[in-house]
Amino acid sequence: MSENCTHDCSTCSENCASREIVKEVPHELSHIKKVIGVVSGKGGVGKSLVSSLLAITAQRRGYKAAILDADITGPSIPKIFGLKEGAVADESGLYPAVTIPGTKVMSVNLLLEDAGDPVVWRGPVIAGVVKQFWTDVIWGDVDYMFVDMPPGTGDVPLTVFQSLPVDGIIVVTSPQELVSMIVGKAVRMAGLMNIPILGIIENMSYIACPDCGKKLYPFGESKAEALAAEYKLPLLAQIPIESKLAALCDAGTLETFEGDWLEGALDVIEKL
């Protein structure tokens, strides 16, 4: 603590050890009950898919769901939901796009003239945009907001953990041992930030034989149970490799999927 401390961190520029982390306030027209981060230490494991399926599952249970796409340089949520129109704004603020069933989405791809344009920004700028998605967007009433994180433990995850009132995170992994090792970094980061970890979801876990139903493991036997046991976390779900699921994402019609893989995960979220 500085010898000149006024005990008001909001007006102080000192970077002392006792400085409090002040959560950002959402837009005055936003009423968000629970915020769930979807994280992993590595890209390509299916965080966007899991975020989307969780929102869809919540919506089907009668909740008002939203997705904040915090993967600024690799946004995929609008594509998954088939959102082609950009976000709109008025004098009150910026509004998220809304799917036909009612899931609200905000992503940088909804703000670009061409969704294929690259976002070539430095880390602090990207982190600032994510923060603005929370403070400047008019989300309205939301029961569960799922934050689709970029991979790693850099600027954006740090910004989300420090600035948003995250109620818990879900860690996404895949069967490869390398991914399991990197997931440990995300778990430890959440521990350092005092963010509750709700559990682990393994994506691309297996392939179900269409003839006999036997589970085949193209990436090797699942290590999810051992990983969950190592960190004393529940294994919430194991999502198979499903060609129909990939086709729905490509077509932007994921909300028509049929499957109950994440029902147990949502049960845990409901108990928060």
Report the predicted TM-score, pTM, of the whole model to 2 decimal places. 0.89
Coarse DSSP helix, strand, coil percentages of the chain, rounded to the nearest 5 percent: 35, 20, 45
Task: Tell me: pLDDT of 241 over 60.
Answer: yes
Q: 156 Cβ partners below 8 Å, 6+ apart?
A: 70, 71, 72, 123, 126, 127, 130, 149, 150
The DSSP bridge pattern shows strands 197-202 and 168-173 to be parallel
Instruction: Give the CA angle between residues 188, 192, 195 to the nearest 5°.
Output: 90
Q: What is the mean pLDDT of residues 172-184?
A: 78
Cβ pair 218, 241 in contact under 8 A: yes
Residue 118, both tokens: 């690259």
Helix runs in 85-234, H state only: 123-135, 155-163, 177-192, 224-230
Structure-block tokens of residue 47 = 């965080």
Burial class from Cβ neighbours inside 10 Å (0-12, 13-18, 19+) for residue 28 reads exposed
Span 79-99, pLDDT tens digits:
999 998 889 999 999 999 999
Inter-CA distances, 207 with 49, 203, 210, 227, Å: 17, 11, 9, 20
Among 187, 229, 200, 188, residue whose Cα is nearest residue 47: 200
pLDDT of residue 108: 95
Give residue-wise pLDDT tens across range 26-83.
999 999 999 999 998 788 889 999 999 999 999 999 999 999 999 999 899 999 999 9
Terminal Cα distance for the chain, rounded: 34
Report, as an integer, the average pLDDT of 138-164: 93
Rg of the Cα trace of the chain? Answer: 19
